[in-house]
A and B are shown apart, each in its own frame.
Chain A
Amino acid sequence: MEHVIIIGGGGTGAALAHDLSLRGFEVSLFEKGGLISGTTGRHHGLLHSGARYAVHDPEAARECARENAILRTIAPGVIEQNGGLFVAIDDADLSYAREFIDHCRRCDVPVREIDPRLALSMEPALTPGIRCALEVSDATVDAWRLPLQFFATARAEGAVIRQFSEVTGILRTGDCVTGVMVHDHRRQINYDVTGDMVVNAAGAWAGLVSGLAGIPLPIQPAPGAMVSLKGRLTNRVINRLHSPGEGDIIVPQRNLTILGTSIWHSDDPDSYDVPPEDVERLIDACAVMVPAVGDAALHAAWSAVRPLLGTGDAADLWQASRDFECYDHAVTDHLEGMVSVIGGKATTMRSMAEETADLICRKTGRDIPCRTATETLLSYRLFYRSES
């Protein structure tokens, strides 16, 4: 079968290595750092129900709802199946509720209105003043171990996974990509790898990778800060019932509580800034929903860089789509043999891989159905049983 080279060892690359291996392709994946050392591992761990996006980004909402249900069945051991609530605090939140529920239903996102008193008994840390509570199927996912399950399964299926191996160039003959140049940081050597197809799955770094081939990509690195607090303040994920904005997600993660998030423009996917003022604003905004947030001890603050679709001219980054796109560079740039998959969310890593693998099947004339929606993933621990 054809040899597919994947650039990027985050969630998308992990799910794609699994999908393509399962369809019978020969797969080699290259990651410049350690596995899952970019955006995926740093996300807040919210397995979205889809509700957050229902009003302004219905495609992303539908996708999240479908993937949420699939990941719960194929990777149960790395998901706290804890559920989530959207809570209205003020009049503006309350007036948003009807539109929110309608859009959720239209997007097939399960949502159930519950008595605020019941919500308070379920989550005693909520502010007593909540006006309305909606139950959704959010969950907390282990952001490192879910992609590692994809890697473990891909490796067992024969995929070659190379970390600390940086793609430094794209090999081409005329208008056709024929492989990649790789720098091995372990042994300080360079080598070439030839393949039938190269997939750019570098997330927020995808623009740098496509730049190696001299082609532009509509990608907007958009960092956001996150805060973790000591102690698990709620059992469920708590969301503010309003149009998505800053500091409106509280994700309990084992014995920690994660607050998300802020957003800003950046041209630099390697941005590691954590603005102290963002940390303060996140704590203040989340304390409106769960007052104990204001008293909890700070555990860590960090930032992660979202790989948003677009060219950076979106006036409101909160409204920019969280959907993803596969680019066949033969169509967009007259460059055969290279595909880029950009955008998306950790929740949709599997479906991003499915769509990309479908495209690769079409391009290679293969008619092989995707099986990743029903194949249970191997334990992440098995990744280390086959270390190469």
Chain B
Amino acid sequence: MKGRHIIFRILRYKESVIDPPQFQDFELTVTVTMTVLECLERIRREQDPSLMYRKSCHHASCGTCACIINGTERLACVTTVLALDTPVVTMEPLRGFRCIGDLAVDMTDFYRHISPDWSYLTPVAPDEGSGALRFEDCIECGTCLSACPAMERECPFMGPAALALIHREIKKSPDGKESLLSLAGGPRGEKWCERALHCSRVCPSGVYPARHIALLRKMLGK
């Protein structure tokens, strides 16, 4: 199959080896269906086995392969290279997370304000109404935190993902509403949100965190 010649300009980082980070170019012939993740796999296999990135499901369900592609937070597994329509594709790790090597980041900071007790997939009886809406859309990929301008400042903001999850958790477990709302309205909560809406723009799962933040504000009487 005919392909197009593409340069992948990847920000490399290896603790005390490539430190500070620097860009390195890799060249590949890319066909029309190839995703950015498939290209990373080929580069790792054929050109540099030390290239580090996270990945698992290959279909935007796990959220591990999020990174910054041509300046925007995206999932590498569902980003088609030629659809980007640029001869050079730049790749950087998500902002605001500790980089553990190249494009791989440590997600500890993502979960810092997300309780392990907040439900993920909630078991329900098979015949309990429409199945389509009751499962979590948020795949916890970190793109919204990386894109959030408030996260760049030295502020204690819990971030858009945690607030979206708080709003969903209130809907799923109304009993916990009061304490969840006090978190949302608390010192790490919605007051830091600058309404830039970048979180909703980059979310690959259609969670629209900014909308959840707006609904939380309404609940808080703001």
Contacts and interface: CB of A to CB of B under 8 A. Distances in A.
Interface of A: 33-37, 41-42, 45, 76-83, 122, 142-145, 164, 185-188, 226, 228, 231-232, 235-236, 252-256, 258, 270, 272, 274, 276, 299-302, 304, 378-382, 384-385, 387
B136 A254 contact: yes
Contacts of A381: 111, 114-116
Contact of B14 (A35, A78, A186, A300): A186
Nearest to B41: A272
B111 A76 contact: no
B131 A252 contact: yes
Contacts of B22: none
B163 to A, nearest CB: 16
B16, B45, B59, most chain A CB atoms within 10 A? B59
Nearest 8 Cβ contacts at the A-B interface: A41-B56, A144-B62, A379-B116, A235-B131, A302-B58, A300-B59, A34-B54, A254-B135
B56 A36 contact: yes
Contact of B126 (A77, A83, A255): A83
Contacts of A228: 59-61
Contacts of B101: 164, 185-186
24 contacts: A34-B64, A36-B62, A37-B55, A41-B62, A77-B120, A77-B122, A81-B124, A83-B126, A122-B126, A122-B127, A144-B61, A144-B63, A185-B101, A232-B131, A252-B131, A254-B136, A272-B38, A272-B42, A299-B59, A299-B60, A300-B35, A302-B58, A380-B120, A381-B116
- Helix, strand, loop or mixed for chain B's interface? loop
Contacts of A301: 33
B83 interface: no
B27 interface: no
A299 B60 CA distance: 9
A63 B41 CA distance: 34
B53 interface: yes
B137 to A, nearest CB: 6
Q: Give the size range of B's interface with the partner.
A: 35 or more
Contact of B110 (A41, A83, A122, A384): A384
B77 interface: yes
A131 B15 CA distance: 62
A302 B108 CA distance: 28
A142 B120 CA distance: 10
Contacts of B57: 41-42, 143-144
A35 B15 CA distance: 20
B202 to A, nearest CB: 18
Contacts of A258: 59
A372 B122 CA distance: 22
Given A144-B56, A187-B14, A82 B77 contact: no
A128 B131 CA distance: 20
B136 A82 contact: no
Contacts of A385: 108, 111, 116
Contacts of B56: 34-37, 41-42, 143-144
A299 B79 CA distance: 10
B120 A145 contact: yes
A216 to B, nearest CB: 24
B136 A188 contact: no
B14 to A, nearest CB: 6
Contacts of A256: 59-61
Nearest to B118: A381
Interface in B6-37: 14-17, 33, 35
A91 to B, nearest CB: 29
Contacts of B123: 76, 79-81
A300 B100 contact: no
A188 B50 contact: yes
Given A42-B58, A276-B33, A186 B100 contact: yes
B110 to A, nearest CB: 7
Contacts of B181: none
Contacts of B194: none
Contacts of B155: none
B193 interface: no
Contacts of B135: 80, 254-255
A77 B64 contact: no
A255 B137 contact: yes
A255 B59 CA distance: 12
Contact of A34 (B53, B61, B114): B53
Given A270-B45, A300-B60, A37 B54 contact: yes
Nearest to B101: A186
Given A254-B137, A276-B33, A143 B14 contact: no
Given A34-B56, A236-B126, A272-B42, A186 B114 contact: no
B106 interface: yes
B61 A378 contact: no
Given A187-B16, A255-B135, A384 B108 contact: yes
